[in-house]
Chain A
Amino acid sequence: MFKKKKFLIGGIILLLAVVYLGYTGFVSSATYYYTVSEYSQLDKVPGNSTIRIGGQVAEGSVVQQGSNISFNLVEGDKSLAVTYQGAVPDTFKPGVDVVVEGKMGTGSTFEAKSILTKCASKYSPA
């Protein structure tokens, strides 16, 4: 019986450690995801937290200056201005669905830290 107890205690400690790691990891990296129109209807705009916003890159809105890129993300009649610095993914172009991750900057421009292209399939042609 004594041995069983030892194993049980060991197991519980292990479990607690995993739960702790999971919780802290979750708190530090959980990000909310909104579409452009969901985002525009939010009562409280999350100021300083990292969020993800999904939408379509508006035709004719992409402006590139060196490595700085700005474009509008649209969904229906709602639109959001986005800036990004760096190399965009290969599949990035007007008309594709993308998810931007970053923070709301000063003013009404979203400062993206990363751009994920949500291509329908990596297997099927673009």
Chain B
Amino acid sequence: MADLGYYALVLAFLTAIFACLAFAFGGKKSATGTGRFALIGTFVLVSFAELVLLIGLLSHNFSLEYVASYSSKALPGLYLFSALWAGNAGSLLLWAWLLSLASFIVILNRRRYTTLTPSACSVLMLTESFFLLLLLATANPFLKITPPLDGQGLNPILQNPGMVIHPPALLAGYVLMAVPFAFVVAALITRKLDDDWTLAVRRWMLAAWLLLGAGNAIGMWWAYVELGWGGYWAWDPVENAGLMPWLVATAFLHSAIVQRQRSMFKVWTVSLVIIAFLLSIFGTYLTRSDILQSVHTFGDTGMSPYFIIFMLLIIVGSVYLVNSRRSALKSGEEMQSIVSRETAFMLTNMLLLGTTLIILLGTVFPAISEAFWGSRVGVGAPFFNRVNNPLFLVLILLAGVCTVVSWQQVNMGKLGRSLVIPGAAAIVTAVIALAFGARGWQGIAAYMLCGFVLASIVAQWVNHTRTRAAAKNENYMQAFGHLFLDNRSRYGAFLVHLGLAVMAIGIIGSSFYSKEAQGTLKTGQSLTVGDYTLTYQSTRIDHQTEQTIINNTLSVSKAGQEISSLIPKRTIHVNYNQPVTEVAIRSTLAEDLYVIPGETAADGSTFFKVLVNPLVDWIWIGAAVIVIGGLLAYWPSRTRKDVPETRPEPKPEPGKSHTVEEEIELEVNRLRRGNRA
């Protein structure tokens, strides 16, 4: 059975190569003929291999090295499933399978983009064959060993529901970046560089952006509740690898809007897709090499030459293609005003790419310095924070400004009026922050920006709702709902910006205003952090068959009043000669009380580190709002399918802006004229 999995991968490698060539040289017919069959064949074969590995895990087939290394008989079913991507070979196989699935979906939609699909599929199959080659040459998941009695089990810190979703979400995000890249290459090859490719790419990119964003957020949450060092982001190379393509994808989503609306930024938009794909391949590579020290890596896997050659191929090919199609990528229009939405979008784009470059530089600096100067120099979190914090704050400000300014020429008086409410909100935010004890100009300035953004978005919503309610004779609830349903991508984007500001509030609170205290306590002794006093009550040791759990009970009082008790734990698994610290968190919307237990000595005295992290919950709430906004924008518009004949879509004229508020304004004016007449 396991051998069949291996043979399926060998065959899939051959069909993928064949499909790649058939699409490249078969012309338009290849999308319906041999190329399509080879592509579907690859998908079926890789699916089969994935299924074989899954069955191996579920049936505890320990004659497979992979199954023996990452699962055990006692492992719960859910984690047996997640063991599918817990190891290097398994996660690569998942890459290959997801890519073949994405290619399959592309070929199903071939009738929409008849000219682009063949070349795009050729690129996808080239990438697929690269990953299949990697699997066969360096990380065969079907390697056999003499079966041990039981497997080694899954690392206990990975046995967390977040870890079931986080890796495949990130991985799927990486994989989906391949589809926009394939379409861009197809557009460059066929010289069809009009709006067609951005349309084909937008939803794929949005899906990749959503998955990467959700994957990163879940990773942050997991690090916070499970890793137990009190934070959620450490600027670790692998975290950066997940963040960078997300930032570039964000830049693309904005740049593509400008390209569609104003036919500008064409080279830029094309480049962003290529960079995003490169970064996702680079991220996949980072976790599989030892060029950088990271807590996340699989250790050296001998894949470096393969990845380096593949990335060079992408870079050289892309640079050649973009350069030779320069003339077709000329901008249709010029920038007209320094204060306009396109300028704001351009600035957003430059900042996003700038911060990505800084992160990339900081991430690979140890490797660079070793290559050039022979000494390894690393930069830590202070570097990333110092450089990125100001850039992120300007980005958040822009997230508010973008929603207020209009395309092209801006009516300054109108702009000034629309900035009154957000400006006032910023001042109110500062007053509230000061009242709650926030000090330091950086934190307060950052809060003011968040207040500004939240107010500018809410003010826009109120405005649009009132205008629409008046124009269409609806009540406010209906009007608000219809605005969302009729303009999903725009209102989804509003929600994403709102979520971003909410998330920023949490990040600012927890990074500028966190308090901590630590010490070794005997039972009965207490520790004070901020308004909280924690008293160490007792220790209880549970001896179980699989594990030993040390429970430390602490009572918590705030301002003299006992409010709860917390039980941080340390678990020692039998299979793992390694303790697992389980922090105790008392979470409220205002702040988290976070207790990290250290080792308990024979006399029961225990080391504790206690943190008070303000507003952390808002990070998760903001992330959830971002995901909901993204989903809303992703959902296909209803208006196109439901009302096909009676009301044809107005064709957007190039150079003419079509934002909701302007459309509503026109409508209101029409109604007013009608009343007067």
Verify A116–B298 contact, CB threshold 8 A. no
A17 to B358, alpha carbons, bound, how many Å? 12
| Complex contacts, A67 vs chain B, CB 8 Å | 518-520, 598, 607
| Complex contacts, A28 vs chain B, CB 8 Å | 382-383, 386
Q: Is B391 an interface residue (CB 8 A)?
A: yes
Given known contacts A6-B338, A66-B607, A126-B578, A25 and B382 CB-to-CB distance under 8 angstroms: yes
A88 to B607, alpha carbons, bound, how many Å? 10
Residue of A14, A25, A86, A120 near B387 (CB, 8 A) is A25
Q: Is B284 an interface residue (CB 8 A)?
A: no
Q: Is B335 an interface residue (CB 8 A)?
A: yes
A118 to B153, alpha carbons, bound, how many Å? 20
Verify A124–B377 contact, CB threshold 8 A. no
Per-position binary interface string of chain A over residues 28-46, scored 1 when its CB falls under 8 Å from any chain B CB and 0 otherwise: 1111111000000000000
Residue of A4, A17, A52, A86 near B518 (CB, 8 A) is A86
Q: Which residue of B lies closest to A52 (CB)?
A: B378
Verify A125–B575 contact, CB threshold 8 A. yes
| Complex contacts, B383 vs chain A, CB 8 Å | 25-26, 28-30
A4 to B346, alpha carbons, bound, how many Å? 14
| Complex contacts, B599 vs chain A, CB 8 Å | 64, 87-88
B350 CB to closest chain A CB (Å) equals 7
| Complex contacts, A66 vs chain B, CB 8 Å | 520, 601, 605, 607
Given known contacts A21-B386, A31-B378, A90 and B335 CB-to-CB distance under 8 angstroms: no
A31 to B293, alpha carbons, bound, how many Å? 14
Q: Is B152 an interface residue (CB 8 A)?
A: yes
| Complex contacts, A101 vs chain B, CB 8 Å | 380
A18 to B350, alpha carbons, bound, how many Å? 11
A47 to B293, alpha carbons, bound, how many Å? 25
Verify A123–B155 contact, CB threshold 8 A. yes
Q: Is B69 an interface residue (CB 8 A)?
A: yes
A106 to B646, alpha carbons, bound, how many Å? 85
A110 CB to closest chain B CB (Å) equals 17
Verify A125–B335 contact, CB threshold 8 A. no
A28 CB to closest chain B CB (Å) equals 6
B139 CB to closest chain A CB (Å) equals 13
A119 to B576, alpha carbons, bound, how many Å? 13
Verify A117–B295 contact, CB threshold 8 A. yes
Q: Is B182 an interface residue (CB 8 A)?
A: no
Given known contacts A64-B599, A116-B295, A117-B295, A124 and B378 CB-to-CB distance under 8 angstroms: no
| Complex contacts, B575 vs chain A, CB 8 Å | 125
Q: Which residue of A lies closest to B386 (CB)?
A: A25
Residues of B77-136 at the interface with A, using a CB-CB cut-off of 8 Å, are: 86-88
Q: Is A93 an interface residue (CB 8 A)?
A: yes
Residue of A64, A120, A125 near B152 (CB, 8 A) is A125
Per-position binary interface string of chain B over residues 386-416, scored 1 when its CB falls under 8 Å from any chain A CB and 0 otherwise: 1100110000000000000000000000000
Per-position binary interface string of chain B over residues 359-371, scored 1 when its CB falls under 8 Å from any chain A CB and 0 otherwise: 0010000100000
Verify B88–A87 contact, CB threshold 8 A. no
Q: Is A121 an interface residue (CB 8 A)?
A: yes
Residue of A6, A10, A119, A126 near B577 (CB, 8 A) is A126
Q: Is B423 an interface residue (CB 8 A)?
A: no
A13 to B613, alpha carbons, bound, how many Å? 36
Verify B377–A32 contact, CB threshold 8 A. yes
A29 to B518, alpha carbons, bound, how many Å? 25
Q: Which residue of A lies closest to B361 (CB)?
A: A22
| Complex contacts, A118 vs chain B, CB 8 Å | 293, 295
A124 CB to closest chain B CB (Å) equals 7
B301 CB to closest chain A CB (Å) equals 10
A122 to B167, alpha carbons, bound, how many Å? 12
Question: Looking at B338, B380, B601, which has the most chain A CB atoms within 10 Å of its CB?
Answer: B380
Verify A3–B338 contact, CB threshold 8 A. yes
| Complex contacts, B350 vs chain A, CB 8 Å | 11, 14
A12 CB to closest chain B CB (Å) equals 12
Residue of A14, A17, A33, A93 near B366 (CB, 8 A) is A33
Per-position binary interface string of chain B over residues 148-181, scored 1 when its CB falls under 8 Å from any chain A CB and 0 otherwise: 0000111101100000000000000000000000
Verify A126–B576 contact, CB threshold 8 A. yes
A50 to B581, alpha carbons, bound, how many Å? 28
Verify A30–B296 contact, CB threshold 8 A. no
B353 CB to closest chain A CB (Å) equals 11
Verify A7–B338 contact, CB threshold 8 A. yes
Verify B69–A31 contact, CB threshold 8 A. no
Verify B87–A87 contact, CB threshold 8 A. no
A25 to B157, alpha carbons, bound, how many Å? 33
Per-position binary interface string of chain A over residues 64-75, scored 1 when its CB falls under 8 Å from any chain B CB and 0 otherwise: 101100000000
Q: Is A91 an interface residue (CB 8 A)?
A: yes
Verify B386–A31 contact, CB threshold 8 A. no
9 contacts between A and B (CB under 8 A): A14-B350, A21-B391, A25-B385, A30-B379, A52-B378, A86-B518, A90-B578, A123-B70, A125-B152
Residues in A lying within 8 Å of B, measured CB to CB:
3-4, 6-7, 10-11, 14-15, 17-18, 21-22, 24-26, 28-34, 52, 54, 64, 66-67, 86-88, 90-91, 93, 99, 101, 116-126
Report the 10 A-B pairs with minimum CB-CB distance, sorted nearest first: A25-B386, A87-B598, A29-B382, A33-B376, A29-B383, A67-B607, A25-B383, A120-B299, A66-B520, A21-B387
